[in-house]
């Protein structure tokens, strides 16, 4: 046997190996008969939702093991009034609004950034937040607002953007901060209790930054097993197997399946970047989950000169705006409904004509179901 290291392609073929997948599914099915009650596993990551649907994992598992989609898509959890704030910013004279691509198509209460851009507003879709620096340098007479979204994964990039702007003396760059935090969302789902979740698949990319330690409080408080799991089908089935074993043993532990990328302590340098630029906000309103205390980030006082919410406070709407009555996106984010239980799913609501953020976002549960429903290995 060759001692040469596996190529990336070989590595990921291994994590999609049909024989390994079949073996794991067989092991899970054999143990599932011993479960004291059905295992309702919530994944708190849009990437996991898409992998689960893409690889047809629900079809491989026995009926007493269920995946429940949670608030794991940062675009999806933005309430309409925050979308309306982005729209209001883009309508201001001499403002260039920059944000990530999915955000542009999310409908607000009356329009979307995509429609507004079609009417002539200067709205830029970025792949890299640092591109906002170049936009600001190239347009010194304009105010560039970066509408920042994402969980703990993307907050370090926003911190670097802020620090670079100050270091380069770029005065015309502001940030509208919408970075939200995973542990308070898990706490909100569990405290509500309606979804009857009794196991969690922990997010991968978030955990690379924060470390798995951030979930320990939820595991201890609610006596619930949580396994941080990778994105490939073998990863996810290994994570499910670990959860099943815990449930049978009556255990509630924090475990890491995704050890090739996730540690207990995480990326300390990235954590320090975030701590240097952000404080925890008193509260933040999530779509579907409502106000959650200490669940988002805000700029530290020394960066107030870059806070778009302060600079444009007099034109930004703040009153809560509810979703369309026919849209179940809020309930889907809480784990109360699946996309196919929504009456407008695939009819009035499609990726081309979305009624809610869960269909717009490439990480949204409705988008995943629309794209992959019926797909199996």
- Domains, the chain, in order of start with CATH, read 17-322 (3.40.50.11740), 329-372 (no CATH)
pLDDT tens digits along 243-263: 999 999 999 999 999 999 999
pLDDT tens digits along 298-350: 999 999 999 999 999 999 999 988 888 889 999 999 999 999 999 999 988 99
The predicted pLDDT at position 354 comes to: 87
The predicted pLDDT at position 362 comes to: 82
DSSP letters for 118-178: HTT--EEEESSTTHHHHHHHH-TTSEEEEEEEESTTTHHHHHHHHHHHHHHT-TTEEEEEE
| Residues contacting residue 360 through CB under 8 Å, at least 6 positions apart | 75, 76, 102, 105, 106, 107, 351, 354, 367
Is residue 164 within 8 A of residue 189, CB to CB? The reply is no
The predicted pLDDT at position 324 comes to: 81
The predicted pLDDT at position 356 comes to: 87
Is residue 304 within 8 A of residue 278, CB to CB? The reply is no
Distance of alpha carbon 141 from alpha carbon 337, whole angstroms: 48
Place of tokens 């979930």: 215
With a cut of 70, say whether residue 286 has pLDDT above it. yes
pLDDT tens digits along 198-245: 999 999 999 999 999 999 999 999 999 999 999 999 999 999 999 999
Q: Which residue, 151, 166, 147, 156, is CA-closest to 308?
A: 147
pLDDT tens digits along 126-162: 999 999 999 999 999 999 999 999 999 999 999 999 9
For residue 109, the SS3 value is coil
325 versus 59: the higher-pLDDT residue is: 59
With a cut of 70, say whether residue 2 has pLDDT above it. no
């Amino acid at each position: 046997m060759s001692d040469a290291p596996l190529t990336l392609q070989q590595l990921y073929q291994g994590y999609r190996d049909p024989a390994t997948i079949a073996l794991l599914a067989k092991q899970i099915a054999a143990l599932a008969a011993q479960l004291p009650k059905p295992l309702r596993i919530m994944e708190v990551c849009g990437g996991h939702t898409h992998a689960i649907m893409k690889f047809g994992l629900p079809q491989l598992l026995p009926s007493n093991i269920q995946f429940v989609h949670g608030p794991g898509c940062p675009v999806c959890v933005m309430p309409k009034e925050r979308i309306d704030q982005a729209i209001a910013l883009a309508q201001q004279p001499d403002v260039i609004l920059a944000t990530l691509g999915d955000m542009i198509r999310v409908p607000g209460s009356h329009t979307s950034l995509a429609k507004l851009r079609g009417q002539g507003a200067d709205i830029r879709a970025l792949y890299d937040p640092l591109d906002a620096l170049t936009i600001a340098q190239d347009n010194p007479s304009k105010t560039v607002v970066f509408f920042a979204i994402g969980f703990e994964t993307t907050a370090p990039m926003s911190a670097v953007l802020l620090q670079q702007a100050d270091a380069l003396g770029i005065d015309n760059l502001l940030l509208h901060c919408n970075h939200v935090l995973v542990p308070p969302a898990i706490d909100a789902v569990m405290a509500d209790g309606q979804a009857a979740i009794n196991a969690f698949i922990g997010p991968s990319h978030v955990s690379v930054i924060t470390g798995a330690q951030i979930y320990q409080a939820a595991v201890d408080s609610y006596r619930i097993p949580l396994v941080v799991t990778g994105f490939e089908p073998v990863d996810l089935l290994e994570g499910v197997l670990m959860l099943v074993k815990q449930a049978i043993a009556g255990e509630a532990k924090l475990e890491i399946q995704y050890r090739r990328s996730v540690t207990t302590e995480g990326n300390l340098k990235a954590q320090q970047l975030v701590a240097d630029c952000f404080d925890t906000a008193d509260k933040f309103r999530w779509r579907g989950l409502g106000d959650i205390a200490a669940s988002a980030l805000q700029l530290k006082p020394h960066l107030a000169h870059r806070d778009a919410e302060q600079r444009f406070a007099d034109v930004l709407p703040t009153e809560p705006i509810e979703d369309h009555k026919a849209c179940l996106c809020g309930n889907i984010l809480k784990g109360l409904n699946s996309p196919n239980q929504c009456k407008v799913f695939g009819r009035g609501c499609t990726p081309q004509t979305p009624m809610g953020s869960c269909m717009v976002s490439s990480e949204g549960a409705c988008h995943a179901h629309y794209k992959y429903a019926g797909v199996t290995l």
